[in-house]
Amino acid sequence: MLADLLPPGVEVTERHGPPVTVPLFADEERAVAQAVPARRAEYAAVRGCAREALSRLGVTTLAVPSAPNRAPVWPQGVVGSMTHCAGYRAAAVARADAWAGLGIDAEPRAPLPPEVAALVLDESERAPLAELDPALCADRVLFSAKESAYKVWSPITGVWLGFEDVRVHLEDDTFVVRLLKPGLGVDELRGRWAVGDDLLVTALALPR
């Protein structure tokens, strides 16, 4: 799904089903040394996706350790993003001289609980959803778009971006993220989204 949403020059690896564990490098191992088995398995499986995507990009440094804030640390000269949810995991990578940032997110195809929607979506975002097919779970798509936007924003700015700092507008198969906080050098990000049988995904690629 995600591979169809991102532009040429971005390598994507996706895996469905149970996590397939791969051996971890020492600097990756430290991040999950005390983790429960399920967390460790997902951590390793999504890095398996990252290794494959990096290899197709021609990168030989395949370790993707974690920063203190748990964000992935990509090899020099690479930007990337990873995501996982039940039964799915994916990684996207690109050359940093062409792309400033990538953001991908996958979510289960289910509506947001009302209390969560009230916290993460502004009324101006929630109101238009009444006109859309409930089967799209558009509130979850908006949430996912904000997650993807954060994954672009955070590595570039190093500053927190809250749900209230962005507004998302959905179009047919695209979305626009309006940034209410300065720092990225642009006021808007444009991405794409897709809904499958039990999964929905969003993707952003910010060019240089």
Which residues are part of a known binding site for Mg(2+)? 105-107
Task: Give me the phi and psi of 126, to 5 degrees please.
Answer: -75, -40
Annotation: binding site: 39, 47, 83-84, 105-107, 147, 151, 161
Contacts of 131 (CB under 8 A, 6+ apart): none
Residue 140 DSSP symbol = H
Q: What angle do CA 207, 124, 108 make, to 5 degrees?
A: 65
3-class DSSP state of 158: coil
Distance CA 46, CA 97 (A): 24
Q: What angle do CA 195, 173, 86 make, to 5 degrees?
A: 25
Q: Are strands 78-85 and 88-95 parallel, antiparallel or unpaired?
A: antiparallel
Tokens representing 44? 């390793």
Annotation: binding site for CoA: 39, 47, 83-84, 105, 147, 151, 161
